[in-house]
Amino acid sequence: MSEEPPEENVGGLDEILPPSLMPIYDGYLRIETFRDTYGETYTGIMEAIVAIVLIGGYLYWLYLFFLAG
């Protein structure tokens, strides 16, 4: 039996995904690498900033839809 941990012996999704889905999987891998590199705190702050921007855009859309029309 090898000395490697079990997860080292298992391949990733890239072994079973069709080539047409690889760009999506590559994006997922970039996000996971970012999370591993910078930690959950930094990622949480970035997610909060994105959420604030999205909420601001939604509120602006509501303003335009109901009040500026």
> What are the extents of the domains in the chain?
13-66
Q: Residue 11: its pLDDT value, please?
A: 61
Q: Residue 2: its pLDDT value, please?
A: 58
Q: Residue 39: its pLDDT value, please?
A: 85
- Per-residue pLDDT tens for 25-65? 888 889 888 888 888 888 889 899 999 999 999 999 999 99
Residue with token string 């335009």: 64
pTM, to two decimals: 0.48
Distance CA 24, CA 60 (A): 30
* Contact between residue 25 and residue 17 where contact means Cβ atoms under 8 Å apart: yes
Q: Amino acid identity, residue 11?
A: G
